A and B are shown apart, each in its own frame.
Chain A
């Protein structure tokens, strides 16, 4: 593996008496596609929340390009290059599709409040750039015709796609996807499988994928981590994971979905 772009070193998260994640370590290289699987409540989303700064790990560190990012605000971590989607989609529902994407470019915008009030040249130039970049992403995701629709009015599958597009709008070097196939039918899931691989190749970024649906992860990911009750019980390429008795017992045996 090349030098890791993102690394968690023995991160632990305790909520009162409950240890949701226990000493979890993982490494992601520059263009890796890595999966984290585990039954419901295993601690997968909590791992994402610790990486993105929504929770501060009780113990352990998270390194982005070798630099510890624990203790920073989620906004800062996003600006440093980690973007994410959410298990239960979190779009700006009452905003248009294109405004959702424009907001991803917000922190790079180079004009102030006064420029916005007086509609200066710089304001128009920057807004134009924002719009062009947003349109480019919308085209890639086949949403350009719906740019003025409210996000909440999109069908479910398109909302998922928009959320991925919006995350890419922050120009991340690592993309975290939390159960992107949740609620999708087999057809949509197949499309998504292709899309995820394609995004990695096109944008040349690392992707960390949480899934509950084994099949998708087996197909898409090059390396898989398995967690159960907050503990990492296996780690390897899909074929190894598939035949690992521990995984079959802990994951497939108890929660075959």
Chain B
């Protein structure tokens, strides 16, 4: 059991980074993106390509940091290229466009022989461990939380609240939508590189649209707009398949159905997700209702 958890915990951390970064785009900025698996893939393959083909003669730890940095930068660039045209769209159209781009990324990878194409990319060194994942989770959460508690973060939130009002307050809404999108994509890329150096094997099918939906489920479960919610959502949905597997094969096969039922139940009982838009903070638990900010 302990070993099992040890295996799972880096994946939990990676999913936390994915969920928090998607939440920045979807829940905090209010731009409905369904392409997160694509940015994850860009980071994973970039980081893996570095360590397989170009790793410098440095200690593994430094090389991991470099490959995560490269994954971050590559995904930021992809986020910029995809975000600029897509973020002019709204709502459903934005969701469909980002979904399309996510799939395009996957198909491009599928057809690039140097990184394994449909055979998958193997021979990636195992550099990621629980320590590095935890460190990057903390870095991601601190950076995003700090941004949110500054003027740029408030501008990002104001777009979700009311884009027309934000514009009328002198806030360049397109610039901040793009900023949120690019930062969110970048951290997904970082998570990708961590993932590549953990599983040591990448296959394009692992980065399909379905996984974007699962990350989306994590943030909806935790509450769109709540960082702590995303963390909890990521933990629950990473453990869920394992718990279901534990309950037997038939239950496990009905996984997506169980998710759907859970999601419907959540929407009926707590439409805002577990935490709504708020953060879990023990200090504010005792404040009177209506006083919370």
**Which residue numbers of A lie inside 8 Å of B, CB to CB?**
52, 54, 73-76, 78-79, 83-84, 86, 90-96, 99, 102-104, 106-107, 109, 111, 113, 115-119, 123, 126-127, 130, 148-150, 153, 166, 169-170
- B293 partner residues in chain A, CB cutoff 8 A: 95-96, 99, 148-150
> Chain B, 159-188, contact with A by CB distance < 8 Å: what is the 0/1 string?
001101111111111000001000000000
Select the residue from B157, B158, B170, B173 with max chain A CB neighbours within 10 A.
Answer: B170
Verify A73–B150 contact, CB threshold 8 A: no
Verify A75–B167 contact, CB threshold 8 A: yes
Of the candidates A74, A116, A149, the one whose C-beta lies within 8 Å of that of B146 is A116
A139 to chain B, nearest CB (A): 18
Select the residue from B143, B151, B164 with max chain A CB neighbours within 10 A.
Answer: B151
- B143 partner residues in chain A, CB cutoff 8 A: 117
Q: Given that A116-B151, A119-B146 are contacting pairs, would A170 and B277 also be in contact in the complex, using a CB cutoff of 8 Å? A: no
**Which residue numbers of B lie inside 8 Å of A, CB to CB?**
143, 146-147, 149-155, 157-158, 161-162, 164-173, 179, 225, 277, 290-293
How many residue pairs at the A-B interface have CB separations less than 8 Å? Answer: 111
- B167 partner residues in chain A, CB cutoff 8 A: 54, 73-75, 78
- B292 partner residues in chain A, CB cutoff 8 A: 148, 150
- A166 partner residues in chain B, CB cutoff 8 A: 169
B149 to chain A, nearest CB (A): 8
B105 to chain A, nearest CB (A): 26
Of the candidates B150, B168, B179, B290, the one whose C-beta lies within 8 Å of that of A123 is B150
Q: How far is the CA of A130 from the CA of B143 in the complex (A)?
A: 21
A76 to chain B, nearest CB (A): 8
- A104 partner residues in chain B, CB cutoff 8 A: 169-170
Identify 15 new A-B residue pairs, CB closer than 8 A, beyond the known A54-B164, A95-B293, A166-B169: A74-B167, A78-B168, A90-B165, A92-B158, A93-B161, A94-B225, A102-B151, A103-B154, A103-B171, A109-B151, A111-B150, A113-B150, A116-B149, A149-B290, A150-B292
Of the candidates B161, B169, B277, the one whose C-beta lies within 8 Å of that of A106 is B169
Verify B170–A170 contact, CB threshold 8 A: yes
Q: Given that A116-B147, A119-B146 are contacting pairs, would A150 and B169 also be in contact in the complex, using a CB cutoff of 8 Å? A: no
A56 to chain B, nearest CB (A): 14
Closest partner residue, chain A, to B289 (CB atom): A153
Verify B173–A75 contact, CB threshold 8 A: yes
Q: How far is the CA of A116 from the CA of B149 in the complex (A)?
A: 8
B291 to chain A, nearest CB (A): 6
- A127 partner residues in chain B, CB cutoff 8 A: 150-151
Of the candidates B162, B168, B290, the one whose C-beta lies within 8 Å of that of A153 is B290
Of the candidates B171, B277, B291, the one whose C-beta lies within 8 Å of that of A75 is B171
- B169 partner residues in chain A, CB cutoff 8 A: 75, 78, 103-104, 106-107, 166, 169-170
Verify B161–A92 contact, CB threshold 8 A: yes
Q: How far is the CA of A117 from the CA of B179 in the complex (A)?
A: 14
Verify A91–B171 contact, CB threshold 8 A: no
Verify B151–A111 contact, CB threshold 8 A: yes
Give 24 CB contacts A-B under 8 Å.
A54-B167, A73-B167, A75-B167, A75-B168, A75-B171, A83-B168, A86-B164, A86-B165, A90-B162, A91-B161, A94-B161, A94-B225, A95-B161, A99-B293, A103-B171, A106-B169, A111-B151, A113-B179, A116-B146, A116-B149, A117-B147, A149-B293, A153-B290, A166-B169
